Every structure is written in C-alpha cells, then in structure tokens.
Amino acid sequence: MAGPKQRVEQQPAWVLHTHPWRETSLIVEAWSRDHGRIALVAKGARRPHSQMRGVLMAFQPLSMDWSGGGEVKTLARAEWLGGQPLLTGRALICGYYLNELLVRLTAREDPHPQLFSAYAEAVRALGRGESESPILRRFELALLQELGYEAGLAIEADGGNAVRPEGRYLYIIERGPVRLETLEQEGATVDAAALGDQPLLSGQTLLDMAADDFSRAETLAQSKQLLRMLINHTLGGQPLQSRRVLKELQEL
C-alpha cells in the first residue's frame, strides 16, 4: 500500500547503485542525508541527451529532488555538487565495499545523518588518496554503532571497569569486551582452537578504536579482525562481492 505522497527538494545524496529499467530509464539506489536509503526511478536517464545521464555517478556528491508515495519514488532532478575526484584502482573497490555495506545493512527510508556524514568523509578521504585501511575501519565502526552495537569499546563488559591498556580481551557479541582472566575464571578454555575466528585483542587496541586512533599497526590489524567478525555476524554469514574482488586483486 502506497504511503502519502511527498516532495523532497535539494536533498544531499550519493548514488549507491543503478540498474536499467525499461528501455530508457534507471532505478537508482541513493543514500540521502535526511531520508536514508531511497529507491528512485530516473525516467529517461539513459537517453543520449538526458540531463541526468552524466550526473548519476557513484562517489560524487549530488543534490536531488524527488516525489512519490510508494516504495520507489520518482527522481525529478539531480545536480552534481562538484569537488570530488573520481575514485580509481583500489580506492574504487573500497568505495564499492562501502556502498555494498549500506545496501545490505541499512533499511529503506531509515535516516542516519551521522552515518551519512561518515560515508561522505570516507569517500572524500579515498578521493584524496589517503591510506585505505583506516578509512574503512572508521566507516565500519560508524556503521556498526548506527546498527546498535553500542557496547563501549573502552569499558569492560562485566563490572563496568575501564579497559586496561595492557590487558588481553575477547569481544563477545551482545556482551562486549571481556578480559581473558574473566573468561578463565568462568571456566572457559581459551586456546587457539576455542578462539576460532574470534580475534584476541589488546586493551590498547580497544582504547585506540574508542579514540578514533588507527595509527598503531597492531590496532589496525586487530580492529580489522574485530570489525570483520561483527560485520559477518550482522550479515548472517552472507559473503560480500566487493570483498571477494578486493581479495582477488591482492592475490594478483
């Protein structure tokens, strides 16, 4: 059942994905500041002289107008805001990874203004040629926090004590950071076989992540393992196409 008809104007947005629709149009999956992820039909956008033809590009900041009351709105206008270099090479694949995460893990028309800002900063940083790993880790962390993983990285799950820099921790899903000593006191056997894919984390890594500091090599490596575990859990184990492509590139 269609909802009330709405008209949205001059909405900051980014294109996440497009695919052809009918002979001359596109379905656009857009990421907007105030309306979250939106499905839009861009009528006639594939025609040679369409004003939208060269505008609806991924990783470029846009201003959009749309209207409609159903699940798929009608795109009325898209204007390029400029100032963003085209992504190429590994940065482009990393951008597709960000887009795939948003498409897979956010609900339609569920606004996340802070995550919108985190995405915009990530794309801009990729365009500036900054180191890709810290960019991805910051965005993954922002995404997971928006999805409800609010357990404080700097606070131990049991007792509410501050994480100790010299401590060794496991991050238990739905619980938070737990010191190995606590698990051993509970009778858990913590060895390589028991850990499986669960990363062993230093307290300093957790404190660095909470402080948005990815300058230490150990923090970067351990945060990648932790965030991958949490994202895989959120995805229900379903693989990401962009992650597979990036892995294949690294093996060339």
pLDDT tens digits along 2-26: 556 789 999 999 999 999 999 999 9
Per DSSP (E only), the strands in 53-114 are 62-68, 72-80
Q: Which helix (H) or strand (E) holds 117?
A: helix 113-127
Question: pLDDT, tens digit, for every residue of 52-107?
Answer: 888 999 999 999 999 998 899 999 999 999 889 999 999 999 999 999 999 999 99
Mean per-residue pLDDT, 155-180? 90
Structure tokens that stand for 70 in this block: 């159903």
3-class DSSP state of 183 = helix
8-state DSSP, 29: E
Any long-range contacts for 221-228 (C-beta under 8 Å, 24+ apart)?
A: 223/137, 223/141, 224/133, 224/137, 225/199, 226/171, 226/199, 226/201, 227/137, 227/140, 227/141, 227/144
Name residue 32's amino acid: S
- pLDDT tier, 189 (very low <50, low <70, confident <90, very high otherwise): low
Enumerate residues 6+ apart whose C-beta is below 8 A from 129: 91
Average pLDDT in the chain = 89
Could you read off the pLDDT of 200-210 as tens digits, one per residue? Answer: 999 999 999 99
For residue 187, count other CB atoms closer than 10 A to its CB. Answer: 6
The reply to whether the predicted model has a pTM over 0.95 is: no
Residue 20 Cα to chain centre, angstroms: 25
Residue 151 has pLDDT above 80, yes or no: no
